[in-house]
Amino acid sequence: AGSADTAKTFGLGRPAEADEIAAWDIDVRPDGTGLPEGSGTVAEGEVLFTDNCATCHGDFGEGAGRWPVLAGGQDTLKEDRPEKTIGSYWPYLSTVYDYVRRAMPYGNARSLSDDEVYALTAYLLYLNDVVTDEEFKLSKENFTGIHLPNEANFIADDRMAEAHNANKGDPCMTNCMAEPARITMHARVLDVTPGAGDDETSGGSVD
Amino acid sequence: AGSADTAKTFGLGRPAEADEIAAWDIDVRPDGTGLPEGSGTVAEGEVLFTDNCATCHGDFGEGAGRWPVLAGGQDTLKEDRPEKTIGSYWPYLSTVYDYVRRAMPYGNARSLSDDEVYALTAYLLYLNDVVTDEEFKLSKENFTGIHLPNEANFIADDRMAEAHNANKGDPCMTNCMAEPARITMHARVLDVTPGAGDDETSGGSVD
Amino acid sequence: AAAGAGLVSRSALAGDPLITEVQDWNRYLGDSVQAAPYGKPSEFEAHVVRRDVEWLTASPESSVNFTPLHELDGIITPNGLCFERHHGGVAQINPADHRLMIHGLVDKPLVFTMEDLKRFPRENRVYFLECAANSGMEWRGAQLNGCQYTHGMIHCVVYTGVPLKYLLNEAGVKTSGKWLLAEGADASAMTRSIPMEKALDDCLVAFKMNGEALRPEQGYPVRLVVPGWEGNMWVKWLRRLEVGDQPWEQREETSKYTDLLANGKARRFTWVMDVKSVITSPSPQAPVAHGKGPLVISGVAWSGNGTVQRVDVSIDGGRNWKTARIDGPSLSKAMHRFYLDIDWDGSPLLLQSRAMDEQGFVQPTKNELRLARGDNSIYHNNGIQTWHVKADGTVENVEVA
Amino acid sequence: AAAGAGLVSRSALAGDPLITEVQDWNRYLGDSVQAAPYGKPSEFEAHVVRRDVEWLTASPESSVNFTPLHELDGIITPNGLCFERHHGGVAQINPADHRLMIHGLVDKPLVFTMEDLKRFPRENRVYFLECAANSGMEWRGAQLNGCQYTHGMIHCVVYTGVPLKYLLNEAGVKTSGKWLLAEGADASAMTRSIPMEKALDDCLVAFKMNGEALRPEQGYPVRLVVPGWEGNMWVKWLRRLEVGDQPWEQREETSKYTDLLANGKARRFTWVMDVKSVITSPSPQAPVAHGKGPLVISGVAWSGNGTVQRVDVSIDGGRNWKTARIDGPSLSKAMHRFYLDIDWDGSPLLLQSRAMDEQGFVQPTKNELRLARGDNSIYHNNGIQTWHVKADGTVENVEVA
Ligand code: HEC
Ligand code: HEC
Ligand SMILES: [Ca+2]
Ligand SMILES: [Ca+2]
Ligand SMILES: [Ca+2]
Ligand SMILES: [Ca+2]
Ligand SMILES: [Ca+2]
Ligand SMILES: [Ca+2]
Ligand SMILES: [Co+2]
Ligand SMILES: [Co+2]
C-alpha cells in the first residue's frame, strides 16, 4: 500500500492494438498526416453529393433552409452579414476531408468510403471555385498541394492587446459618464417563451 | 438604495392577527402554557381511544404490530430491550396533550376537539397507571399537578465528559493494538437489496 | 450511398469490436435538446436510488429512506438522492399558499409570504444534514450490509436562504426571549425547541438547495437550516416560529431524540452531531471487482463542530493508520471527501476511517461509545465503522477487537 | 370521531383562511418514502426548465438549450438544468461498452475501461463551463429578453475525475508531443486540439458531476474538463486522446470557434473565457412583482483566469457603481454569486454588473468589444449586460450609451 504520486505509473489499462488504433485514428491534419490511400473526382463527387448531401446543403452547397451553406460567400468577410464557407473562410482542405468522413452525412456518420470522401471533397472544391475542372481527381498524393483562399487570414489570439484588456486597473466608480445613460436599443425578440407567440425572428444564429 | 445591515429592519411581512396566531399557536409547555380551556375523563377517553387509536396502538396502548407502544414498559430502561412509553420514559404530560392534538390520529391530524384531547390524555394516564380512577377528569386546571414517573431521569448533554471526548489530542498511528485485530461480529442482515431475498429481520427500529 | 463499405473489412479486424466496429451511437443521431427540459440520470444508473428498509417502521409515511453514499463522490449530494425522513408523508404545498409566522415574545408578530422572504439579504452555505438516528441500527452491533443503510441518513447540499436573525430582528425579539419553537406545516406539524443563541448564530431559512427550489421531501417551499445540529431540528415546510422563555419539551425532544444511558438516565437536548466518517468505497454495496493493484479507498467525513481537520484510514482493523488525502472544498459543517490510494496486494483488509475535527475531537470506536453509554442508546452513534474486504473483493460489515 | 369539531368555528375567524383553516397538507398524510426513489422538483416548479430557441438551428439534434439562470441561486447548477449543446444528439452509452484510448506520440498506446479510470487517484473541483457562443446572439445588439437566452449557455458543477496528466503519464508522452486531440464517441465524433501545457495543468477526465454520474447530455460516462476554457473543448463521451506535435485544425477550431474581426482577419485558438457577469434577478423573465422597497439584486460572475475579485453593480446604466457582496465559496474558474440589496424607490432602473477577476481584467462594455472586433464576431462576448427595470417592475433587455 502506498499513496498517489504524479511521477509513478499505475500499470492500469491495456496496450492498444494496431487495428484498434487504425479504426479510430481517422483524423487528418493540414500537413496530410492521417490521409488514407485513395482518390475521387469532382464528377464522382457530384453524384454522391446529389444523393447524400443536397437535401440539406443544396445542390450547389448553397444550403437548404437553415442547413449550413458550404459554398460561396467569397469576399463577404468584411461585410455586414459575412457568409463563412469552405471557399470563403476555411483555412485548410484537410478539415473538409476530416469532418465529412467523421460526421457526414448527418444522421448516418461513418458510412462513406475513403474514396467517396475524396470525391466529395473534390466536389466541394469545385463548388467553391478552387478547382474548375470536372475531371479533377483529388488523391492522397495531390491533396496537400491544394490551399484554400482564406488560409492567410487566420491570426493568433491577441485579445490581450485590445484596449479594454491592455489597460488593467481599478474601473471608474462615480460619474463615469458625462450625461445620464440613455437607451440606444431595445431587445428585438420580445416573447422568449418558446411556443407562446411568434417564434420567427430576423435574429442571428448560434454556431 | 443601501446595502444589507443586520441591525436595521426591512419593513417586510405584515402584522399577524390575533385569530391567526390563535389558530396556529397550539403548543403546550410543561408549565401549562398553551393549555386550552376544557376537560375530559378517563371513561370518555377510553371510548375515543377505542374508536380512533386502538387499530394502531392496541386497546391498551400495547401497540398493534409495529405501531408505537404507548403504555407499559415501567422499569425496563436499564434492561436489554427497554420499552419507552409515556409511563416509562416521557418526562412531561404536556407533551402528550400537545402531540396528540397536533399529529394524531395519524392520517387525520387536527380532527380532535380540545376536550377530546383532554379525555384521551386522561386515558393514556390511566393505561400507564399514573391515574387509576376511571372517573378521573383531566382539565386545564388540574393538568400541571400531574407528573410522569420518569421526569427526574432526564439530564443535560454531557457528552463532552465522556472519556473519548475528554482526552483530545493526536490519536495513535502505529501499533495501536497489542494483537492483530480480529472480527468479533458479522452483519446480521446479509441481503440489503430491498425486494431481493429476505427482508424480515430481528433488527432494531429507527426513531 | 456506400453505407457499410468501410465496415465489412473492419469487422474482421483484431481487437475489441467495440473499437473496431462503428457503434450505433457513433453513427446515428441521439436525443435532441428538446427531449428533456428537466434532465435525468442515464438508464444505466437506475440502481442509484434512495432505498428504504421496510421492517424499520410501521408506516412508509413516517419513515426514512437512505442516500446511496456508496455510489456518490465529492461532497455534494444530488437533490434527487438526498435521504428522506418525514413523519406524516411529504407535504405538497403551493408556495403561493404558504405563510411563515413569527410570534411569541416579540415586539411585532409578523406573517411572511414566500415573496416577502425573498426580499431579505440571502446567503449561500454548504452544510451536511445528518439524522441523529444515523447508524442507530448499528448501536448494538453490525447489522446492515451497506453504507447506504448504516450511514445514509445524511446529505450535504448548498442552501440559499435568509439568515434567521434577520427575520427575528424584523419581529423584534424581547430580552426575555431565550428559546425558539420551529413548526412545520405538514401532517405531523413537526416541532422542535431551539436555543436563541443558535437561532441568532448561523441558522438559515432556506428556499433553495443546490441552486434550485427545495425538493418537496426536503420541505418545499421553505425549511430551517440548523448547521451542525441534528437533522430533526431542521424543520421542513416551516410555517411558524414562536419565541419563548423556556423550551417546549415537544415529543421529538422527549420521547425521541433523547439518549438513554446504561444507568437509566437519559440525555436531552443533545444537538451537535459529533465528528464522524465512513468509507463509502469499497463497502458492501461497492465491492472490489478488479482484483489486486491500484485501489481507491474513498469516504466522507463531517463534524457539527466545524471543519474536519484530518482523516486517518486503517487497513488492518485499527492497528495502524495512514492519513488520507482530503480533496475538494473543506467547509465548516459540510461533508469532506477523503481518499487513500493504495496498491492492494489481494489479501483481506479490515478497513476503518477515523476523523478528527477542527476542535480536536476524534471519532471514537463503537466500543468506546458503548462503554460510555451502554447498549440502549440509539442516536449519536459516531463510532468507527469496519468493513471486511475479502480476497474475492466482497465486503462485509463487521466489528473488531 | 369528532372530525371537524374544532373547525366549524375556525372558518369564521378573522385573518387569512390559509392560516385560520386547517389545510389538507397539515391534516392528511403525504407521499411515503417509497414514492420517489429518485426525486424530482415540485409540480409548482414545472416552469423551471431548460429551453431552446427553435429558430436558432436547423436541427434540434445539433442545437442548444439554455440554463434557466433567472430561477437559480448560489453557484451550483443542478444537473437537470445544465444547458445542453451537442452536434449529433445525446449519445446513450452503456459504461461497460465504453473505451478510452490514448495513442500517438506516446511510449505505450493504451485502452482504458471505465473501471480502469476509477482506479486512478481522483479530484473534486468546481468549475464553470461556458460555451464560447454564449451571448453570441447579442453581438450586434439587444435581441433576446431573458438571461436564460442571453447568458444561459453556462453551468457550474462539481466534477469528480482523474487528472488528465495521470493518464498521459501512464502512456508516456514523448518529448515531441506538444498537442492533444480529444475525440468524442457520439455521432459528431467531436474533436478539438488542446495544447499539452493545458492538458498537463488542470484538465480532468471526469465521470461524476455534483456527486452522481455525469448526465447523458453532459457526456456520460466520461468527459473532458478544461477549466476556464471554452465549453466546446470539454469533449463529451470522451473516447480518444491522440498526442501529436501540431494542432489538428479540426472543423470546430477553424470553421467554428474562430473570431472574425472587422478587417477580415480571424483569431484562432481563442481558448480562455474572459471575465463576465450578468444580473439574473431582476431580469426579463424575473420581473419585480413587489413594488418599491427592499429589492435583492442578484447575479453570477466568472472568469477563465481564476477567481472573481470584485463585482460592481450600477442602477443608472453605468454612470455610478456600488461594489456588490460576493457570497458563498470563491473558487478558481467557478461561478461566483453576488448580491446588492437595495431599497428601490420605484423609479426605472438601468441595471448593469461589471466583474473584475484576480488578474485584474475588467468586464468591458459591448461597445468596447465592437470597437475592438467589429460587428461580425460571434464568440467571446463578455460585454456588460443592461436590464431596463420599469416602474411597473417589468424588465427589458436594452443597450445604453
Ligand atoms: C440531414 C441533413 C444533412 C445531410 C444529409 C448532410 N449534412 Fe452536412 N451538415 C448538416 C448539419 C446539421 C451540419 C452542422 C452540424 C453541427 O452542428 O456540427 C452540417 C455540416 C457540414 C459541414 C460543415 C459546415 C460548416 O460550415 O462547418 C460540411 C462540410 C458538410 N456538412 C458536408 C456534408 C456532406 C459532404 C454531406 C453528404 C455526404 C452532408 N454534409 C450531408 C446537415 C446535413
Ligand atoms: C393509523 C395509525 C395510527 C392511529 C389511528 C393513531 N396513531 Fe398514534 N401514532 C401512529 C404513528 C405512526 C406514530 C409515530 C409517528 C411518527 O413517526 O412521528 C404515532 C405516535 C403516537 C404517539 C407518540 C408515541 C411515541 O412514543 O412518541 C402518541 C402519544 C399517539 N400516537 C397517540 C395516538 C392517539 C391518542 C390516537 C387516537 C386519537 C392515535 N395515536 C391514533 C399511528 C397511529
Ligand atoms: Ca491521428
Ligand atoms: Ca475513386
Ligand atoms: Ca415564442
Ligand atoms: Ca405557544
Ligand atoms: Ca368534556
Ligand atoms: Ca432484501
Ligand atoms: Co440528539
Ligand atoms: Co474561442
The beta-carbon neighbor of D269 closest among A157, A186, A204 is A157
Q: Determine the distance in angstroms separating the CA of A142 from the nearest CA of chain D, rounded to an integer.
A: 19
D312:A173 CB<8 A: yes
- Is residue C53 assigned to a domain? no
D339:C122 CB<8 A: yes
A206 touches chain C (CB under 8 A): no
Indicate whether C282 and C246 sit together in one domain.
no
C-alpha cell at B96: 402528550
B15 touches chain D (CB under 8 A): no
- Is residue D5 assigned to a domain? no
Indicate whether D257 and D286 sit together in one domain.
no
d(CA D364, CA D358): 16
Indicate whether C153 and C201 sit together in one domain.
yes
Q: Which of D203, D232, D267 is the last residue of a domain?
A: D267
What is the set of domains in chain B, with CATH numbers?
34-153 (1.10.760.10)
**Contact residues, chain B, for D349 at CB < 8 Å:** none
Contacts of D380 (CB under 8 A, 6+ apart): A159, D132, D230, D259, D270, D273, D274
Ligand 4 ion: residues within 5 Å (CB): A 39-40, 115
Give the model's pLDDT for residue B7.
67
- Report which ligand 1 atom has the smallest distance to the Cα of A52: 37
Indicate whether D191 and D109 sit together in one domain.
yes
With touching defined as 3+ CB pairs under 8 A, do chains C and B touch?
yes
Give the model's pLDDT for residue C141.
92
Quote the number of domains for chain C.
2
> What's the rounded mean pLDDT across residues A124-150?
98
> What's the rounded mean pLDDT across residues A56-63?
97
Q: Is A188 left (phi over 0), alpha (psi -120 to 50) or beta?
A: alpha
Which residue's CA is minimally distant from atom 32 of ligand 1?
A100
* pLDDT reading at B72 higher than 60: yes
Indicate whether D231 and D334 sit together in one domain.
no
Q: Which of D267, D288, D310 is the last residue of a domain?
A: D267
Torsion of CA B8, B12, B18, B22, to 10 degrees: -100
C341 touches chain D (CB under 8 A): yes
Percentage of chain A with pLDDT > 90?
A: 84
- Is residue C205 assigned to a domain? yes
- Is residue D56 assigned to a domain? no
pLDDT category of residue B167 using cuts at 50, 70 and 90? confident
Cα C260 from chain centroid (whole Å): 24
Per-residue pLDDT tens digits of chain D, which is 401 residues long: 344 444 444 456 789 999 999 999 999 999 999 999 999 999 999 999 999 998 888 899 999 999 999 999 999 999 999 999 999 999 999 999 999 999 999 999 999 999 999 999 999 999 999 999 999 999 999 999 999 999 999 999 999 999 999 999 999 999 999 999 999 999 999 999 999 999 999 999 999 999 999 999 999 999 999 999 999 999 999 999 999 999 999 999 999 999 999 999 999 999 999 999 999 999 999 999 999 999 999 999 999 999 999 999 999 999 999 999 999 999 999 999 999 999 999 999 999 999 999 999 999 999 999 999 999 999 999 999 999 999 999 999 999 99
Give the model's pLDDT for residue D29.
97
CATH number assigned to the domain comprising residue C349: 2.60.40.650
Give the model's pLDDT for residue C6.
45
pLDDT category of residue B168 using cuts at 50, 70 and 90? confident
The DSSP string of C301-334 is: EE-TTS-EEEEEEESBTTSS-EEPEEES---TTS
- Report which ligand 2 atom has the smallest distance to the Cα of C256: 27
Q: Which of D232, D250, D267 is the last residue of a domain?
A: D267
CATH number assigned to the domain comprising residue C98: 3.90.420.10
The beta-carbon neighbor of B110 closest among D26, D315, D345 is D26
Helix, strand or coil, per DSSP, at residue C241: strand
Indicate whether C376 and C283 sit together in one domain.
yes
Phi, psi (degrees; rounded to nearest 5) at C364: -85, 170
d(CA D214, CA B138): 61
- Is residue D26 assigned to a domain? no
d(CA D208, CA D205): 10
Q: Among candidates D38, D37, D84, which has minimal Cα distance to D61?
A: D84
- Is residue D78 assigned to a domain? no
Indicate whether C240 and C379 sit together in one domain.
no
d(CA D16, CA C100): 12
- Is residue C40 assigned to a domain? no
> End-to-end alpha-carbon separation of chain B, Å?
49
Give the model's pLDDT for residue A8.
84
To test the ligand 2 pocket, which listed residue (C56, C57, C59, C85) has its Cβ within 8 A of the most ligand atoms? C59
Indicate whether C192 and C317 sit together in one domain.
no
Percentage of chain C with pLDDT > 90?
A: 95
Residue with cell 407535504: C91
List the alpha helices (DSSP H) in D244-381. 366-373
C216:D88 CB<8 A: no
Indicate whether D127 and D223 sit together in one domain.
yes
Q: Are C297 and C340 in contact (CB under 8 A)?
A: yes
Indicate whether C115 and C249 sit together in one domain.
yes
Q: Determine the distance in angstroms separating the CA of B40 from the nearest CA of chain C, rounded to an integer.
A: 21
Domain, as residue range, for D298:
276-398
Indicate whether C335 and C360 sit together in one domain.
yes
Q: Which of B181-195, C244-258, D239-253, D330-344 has the lowest mean pLDDT?
A: B181-195
Give the model's pLDDT for residue C54.
86
Ligand 1 contact via A100 beta carbon (within 6 Å): yes
Indicate whether D121 and D229 sit together in one domain.
yes
Which residue on chain C is closest to A117 by alpha carbon? C2
- Is residue D38 assigned to a domain? no
- Return the percent helix, strand and coil in chain C, to nearest 5: 15, 35, 50
Alpha-carbon Rg for chain B, nearest whole angstrom, is 24
Which ipTM value was assigned to this complex? 0.94
